[in-house]
Amino acid sequence: MSLPDPSPVIDLIEAFRRSKTMFAAVSLGVFEQTPGTAAEIAKRIGADPEAAARLLDGCAALGFLRKETGVYSNTAVAEHYLRAGGPHTLRGYIRYSDEALYPMWAHLDDAVREGSHRWRQTFGLDGAIFSHFFRTEEAMRDFLLGMHGFGMLTSPAVVAAFDLGGFRRLADLGGATGHLAIAACERYPELHGVVQELPPVVPHAREQVAKSVARDRIEVVAGDFFEDELPEADLFALGQVLHDWTGEKIARLLLRIHRRLPPGGGLLIAERLLDDDGAGPAPAVMQSLNMLICTEGRERSPGEYEVLLREAGFREVGFRRTGTPRDAVFARK
């Protein structure tokens, strides 16, 4: 009897090494210091030349750098997603993954035993979960820009998943930098948008909205969607919001939205959808574990979202897998 292929196990034994190589290169600013030789880049980032050469070779092996006659330069992937400053950079979310999620995932076993997030165990932090994301202005900006880059890759597919052309005003609750409202208003020229976010986030959202060709149709207002009055709209959006919270809090928020919508109004939700049995797809299952690590929420299946939405009074519930890291759910009042 032959042994099964051990490749999946070996791959996962080594997977964190690949992640940490990318994390370290981003943290050290490697992709802002190319092109150059190993010695030149090591000097620019303040690193040991021989050790830097190993890191650079690791990035080349992973497809982030080209190495030609001893000179390293960014590949297109690194230039778009790993270098700071671009509209699609994921650098902020990579740094957040390195500095916050990576240490907390070291305590996954304790999270499973206790059924709670790991902020206190890892960093000694209590209080509102999202206060830890925004513990400094730099951390908040890094996180938001990372989520913006992620959103610029996914939100166009989410707003295209259903025909939203009949709506006139979109309220994007907890919309971060407004990437979902931006994508929707750019796709539907008659649509106006409002992004409601916590006060510290508002300037960052306005900065990104100002770059959109639809900027004259999008406003940003301060507010807490659990406590403050919701904006007036015939279409609400929740982009990676519901997976942060317990079922009780989700039910409360959905009921608030349902009461605020006019008859025929809609709700668009962007989340990773689990399979009905909860055992796939793998990225959604891993994200659900991530929610265990850092929030009080989880990912859900279409059936679970349908129950929540119908209990809040919504009808005509539909689902679309977008082929991106965020799927789409639509429901109508």
**Which one is catalytic: 117, 132, 243, 258?**
243
Residue 281 · residue 267 · CB < 8 Å: no
Query: For residue 74, what is the enclosing H or E element?
Result: strand 71-74
Q: Please indicate whether residue 148 is annotated as part of the active site.
A: no
Cβ-contact 260, 267 below 8 angstroms: no
CA angle 323, 329, 331 (to 5 degrees): 155
Per DSSP (E only), the strands in 198-305 are: 218-222, 235-239, 266-271
Phi, psi of 192 (to 5 degrees): -110, 150
Q: Which helix (H) or strand (E) holds 319?
A: strand 315-320
Angle at CA 201, nearest 5°, toward 31 and 143? 30
Please name the residue that has the structure tokens 């791959």: 11
What does each C-alpha distance from 295 to 128, 133, 325 come to in angstroms?
10, 11, 19
Separation CA 48–CA 69 (nearest Å): 20
Q: Could you give the residue numbers annotated as active site? A: 243
